[in-house]
Homo-oligomer: A and B are copies of this chain.
Amino acid sequence: MQDPASSTRSEPDFAVLRERAYNLRWATVDGDVIPLTAADPDLPVAEAVTEAIARYVSAPHLSYGPPCGLPAFREAVAGHFGREKRVAVDAARVLATNSAASALALVARHVMRAGDEVVVQDPVDFLVAESARRAGAVLRTWAPDGGRFTLAGLRAAVTERTRVIAVCHPHNPMGSLWTPAEVAAIAEFAAGRGIAILSDEVWSDVVLDGLPFASFAGFPGAWVVYGLSKGYALAGLRIGAVIAPDAAAGGRFALEAGFEHTIEGAATLSQVAAVAALEHADAWRAAFLRRCAAQRDRARLRLGALGGVRLGEAPQATFVCFVDVRATGLDETELAARIERCARVRVVPGSPRWFGAGAAGHLRLSLATTRAVLDEALGRIEAAWPAVAGDASGQGAKSTM
C-alpha cells in the first residue's frame, strides 16, 4: 500500500501507527496488510489534547490524584453528558476509570453476584458478555429482531430471576441506535421489575447523521460506562468513566472496587487529556463524525456489491460496518483468513470470541481511517473477491436485495 507521502496534523502518520497501534492493528500485522480491525481510529488526536498534556507536564509534578478522579475530569464528563447527550449528570456521580473496559468489568462485579441472571445482547461487543461472565453471572440472550434490539425481544429474554440488563448503546457491532423513546421504554421496563441496567455507552460520541442520543444516565438505577477511545481516539490513554446512579451508590462502588485504596483509578495525565478533548475538541469531533459517515457510505456501497455479502440497516452510530457473509457459504473465520491472505486486508470475523454466537456468519470492518486507505482496502477486497468467495463471488446484485 502507498502510505501518504507526508502527514499533516489532520492526516495520520502511518509510520508512527506502525510503531504504536497494537490490538490487531498496524503494529501487529505484516507490513503489507491493512488492518480494518480494532475500533481505534487511525486519525491524529485533537491538538487541544496534546497541547494540554504538554502544558500539564511543563509544571513537573505528577503526584497522586484524588481516588475517584480529578474534579476537572468529573465536571468535564458531567458537562459533556449535559451538552452532548442532554442529560443532567451531577459530577459527584462520575468516577474516572482506567478505560471503559475496566469500568465495565468493575461495575459488573459490583452489581452482579455469582449466579445472578443477566440479560445481554447477542451479538454484542465481547466485553459486555465477558464482564458479566467474570462476575459469575448466568447469561441470557437478547436477540435482535429485524436488525434491531426491541422491547419485545427484551421481554422474551427476561425472567423472574433477571437481576441486570447489560446493553451496548450505541450498539457495537451493529451500529444501531435506540431512539429516546426506546431508551425510556427499556429503562421503565427494567425499573418496573427492579432490574438494574448497565449501559456501555463508549460509542455515544460516535452518533452519525445528527441523530439524537439518549443516555441511560437519565434514568434511576442505571449504571453507565463511558470512554474516550472511540470518539476522541484516546485508546492508549485508557481513560473512561463510570456514571453511577447517584453519588451515594458511586461512593459504595468506589469503596468496593478499590478506588478509595488506590487499587483502582485513572492516570491523572490521561484525565487531563480527556478534559481537553471534552471541552476543546468539538470541531475535531465534528469533522471526525463527517468522515465516519462518509466512510460508512463508501464502504457499504462497495461491500454491498460483492457476491454473497448482505448489508443490514445502515449504521446510525459507530465507525464499524458489520456485514452478513453467510451467502458465501464460508465460515466467517475462514473468510477473514482468505481476505487477509488474498487481499492483504485484516478484518474481524464474527466469531463467538469477539461478538457472541449471534455474530456467526458476519465480518466486522473498522472504517476510521483515511479515504485513501479505505479505498485501497476495498479495492483489494474487490479484486480478490473471486478468489476469496469462489462461487458466491458473482452473486452480489442478488444477495443484497
Contacts and interface: CB of A to CB of B under 8 A. Distances in A.
Interface of A: 9, 12-13, 16-17, 20-23, 25-28, 38, 40, 44-45, 47, 49-50, 53-54, 57-67, 98-99, 101-102, 104-105, 126-127, 130-131, 134, 229, 233-239, 258, 261-270, 273
Kindly list the 5 A-B residue pairs having the minimum CB-CB distance in the complex, ordered from nearest: A23-B64, A21-B63, A236-B268, A44-B60, A62-B236
A173 to B, nearest CB: 16
Nearest to A131: B263
B21 A236 contact: no
Given A98-B98, A261-B101, A236 B65 contact: yes
A268 B50 contact: no
B233 A62 contact: yes
B16 A59 contact: yes
A130 B23 contact: no
B61 A45 contact: yes
A62 B234 contact: yes
B64 A40 contact: yes
Given A12-B61, A45-B60, A238-B267, A261 B130 contact: yes
B261 A63 contact: no
A212 to B, nearest CB: 29
Copies in the complex: 2
A333 B329 CA distance: 72
A17 B65 CA distance: 11
Contacts of A63: 17, 20-23, 25-26, 40, 233, 235-236
B9 A60 contact: yes
Given A98-B98, A258-B105, A258-B134, A57 B53 contact: yes
Nearest to A45: B60
Given A45-B60, A235-B63, A263 B105 contact: yes
A53 B236 CA distance: 13
Interface centre among A21, A98, A258 (most CB of B within 10 A): A98
Nearest to A262: B101
B267 A239 contact: yes
Nearest to A55: B54
B268 A269 contact: no
A134 B20 CA distance: 35
Contacts of A130: 261, 263
Contacts of A27: 66
Given A269-B237, A269-B269, A270-B267, A64 B21 contact: yes
A131 B263 CA distance: 9
A54 B269 CA distance: 12
B263 A101 contact: yes
Contacts of A59: 13, 16
A369 to B, nearest CB: 12
A249 to B, nearest CB: 20
Nearest to A28: B66
A214 to B, nearest CB: 27
A261 B354 CA distance: 10
